[in-house]
Structure 1
Amino acid sequence: MLGDFNGWVGVKRDGYEGVLGTFGDERVNDNGRSLLEVCLEWNLCVANTMFDHKKIHLYTRDEGESRSMIDFVIVDERLRKKVLDTRAYRGVGLDTDHFLVIARMRGLFKRWRHRVPQPTSVLDRIKVENLQEKEKKDEYVEKLKESFKGIEEIGVIEDLWETFKKGVVNVAIEVCGVAKRRKGRKNDNVWMDKDVQKVVQEKKKAWLDWLATKANQKVQKATDDEIKEARTKYKRLKTAAKEIVSRKKEERKDDFDRRLTEDFQSNIKFFWKTIKTARGKTSTSELSTIRSQDGSIIKGEECVLKRWKEYFESLFEREEVQVQHLPPSTETNINVDKNEISMDEIVKALKSMRLGKAAGYDRITVEMLKAGQGLVASQLYHLFNLCWRNGQVP
């Protein structure tokens, strides 16, 4: 512990032999006695009192005519032998009446230099944005049901939390996948699905077949009809590839516009990321089109600005959070206690949480909790009330 404790600890060591040294100011006050009691309880020692220095190097504050020793470096008694020196340094140029106090220690970080590198797989970001797709969300809920089988029978808080955490994270990784860290800008062609890839591969194969047929004509192994047939097949597949790519891009754009207009309040991070992408690298880039409230496309600078004004004004008109109750079959298994956390409180808290926030050490994000719907809420109800009854925090 470091800092100004406003306490005089003295040098009387009766009962505090493991806490105090023999050097320092002899004065003692109430703050000093309280500090000594804390150090005695937690096996700490005041490093300033262990070394013999001149008085000017012991006192840590100079108020003109009076001086005091109230700024301390307090260490664990197991580190006592590692402290080489502790003293005040005058004339450092600090704009205060306190002096700089420095403690020199040895070997404290020696082992840290030879740490075994930890795998970086835990740093990979789970692509929770995929949970916005209905198919992924339904798959996520079904696999959560399998993962949570028998979890209600767990009565130990730590085991219950570990089971819940691993179930949510592992299922999210399996369903959504992880985003590997890459250098440079990522080219995310989300419209390139299996259907597009299949048609593109067929087009490439037809192109190679046409080239091979023309090459065989030179050695009189291919006729004009065969070349014409190969050329017609390639053109047909080329047209089909253009059509499916155009359709997939349009579908992606419509989905993109829908998410931009619907998810602003719940996922503000996605909104501003979209705006940044639309602006590009230059300050002159702009969004030239936007959708109206009924979904139609609006063009023209004046109409677009008017629509943005209406949209931002509507953001201040927030509706009250509607609490979603669990199905009757789920609620009947829960014994309601007026002193415990209610299911309504948990669901209301989940609804008010914003998306797009970074995950903590447990790797659980708000998207995972909300996608789990009543299934996750019921497990949180069980976990929180188990903590409530035992007076513990997982």
Structure 2
Amino acid sequence: MELANRVKALTPSTTLAITAKANALKAEGHNVIGLGAGEPDFNTPDHIIEAAYRAMKEGHTKYTASGGLLSLKHAISQKFKEDQNLDYSPAEIVVGTGAKQSLYTLFQVLLNDGDEVIIPTPYWVSYPEQVKLAGGVPVYVEGKEENAFKITPSQLEQAVNNKTKAIIINSPSNPTGSLYSEDELKQLGEVCLKHNILIVSDEIYEKLIYGGASHTSIAQLSPELKGQTIIINGVSKSHSMTGWRIGYAAGNSAIIKAMTNLDSHSTSNPTTISQYAAIAAYEGTQEPVEEMRKAFESRLDTVYEKLIKIPGFTCVKPKGAFYLFPNVKEAVKLTGFETVDEWVSALLEEEKVALVPGSGFGSPDNVRLSYATSQEKFEEALERIERFMKNNSK
């Protein structure tokens, strides 16, 4: 049977072959170290789990309003007020089945065929595919490594035309961990206001920031920018709740209403029990969030110094998230491979270390390593990579 054109246009995940190969090696009994994790390696805090259990015991197992529980929207609203001094009413918030689904719904209600969305590279793998599924056209702007993978106002200005509908800003970033400063956001925001471009601000990693840096939402810089921005966020990364699938969008009430209407015909509502858990995440103690952040920062400071000593590796030290995104172009040359993808495949075969090739993020000279794994395993993986480099250098 013929498939729909919309799915034929999707780019297959470049990590699929590596993942399948890693799983096959594990099944054969090999000790494979996977550094591809996109989720914290901490369990969800106890008070959140207990809140979900109470909700089930109290009978909160039925449908909710499509856009989410009013009590959860109030908790999200309070979070915005406390963290960024932003005011969002319940009518300006829609809760979705994870931040990914919130992004998907946003593009579905926002884009018409041929509308362009500016996506800085490196990018999270689902951005361009979601834009394409909505009939939009991804327009890539390179965040240069010498600028910590961040785009400049002049680059943005050059990419804008009469078809430009939106830009995605992901800060801190997956895969680079880069963080835009307040001044950098102001300058990008001026270009967006000048050309009436909607800003999609993906802030899912906002709680995982290191080195004394702080997170700024572009929406908090001025009332005009707040009105031009849709914030995407959730509890997946901040509270180690990836499997609970709760994310949300906040911004223009007309867009939020359209998203709510579309969700009513797709997901009906986010999982009820997970919503009660998310209320506990925001209204309960935030100590586990800070403990996790400190653990990630400690790992980063240790493994980064070891990583940059590997021959052929250069790496911008990230300020957020839990990824390292080194440039391995020289390492690939030293070992005689043609591409990073080939180098990654050989590393997995020979040393049983699974990395994510940067080609899937629009950056073919890099690889992504997640330190959302034990420091012991990560350091062992680095030792294996060093051995691989030594054994294969020409």
TM-score (norm 1): 0.19
Which structure has more RCO (C-alpha within 8 Å, separation ≥ 6)? 2
Of Structure 1 and Structure 2, the greater helix share is in 1
- Pick the structure with greater CA Rg: 1
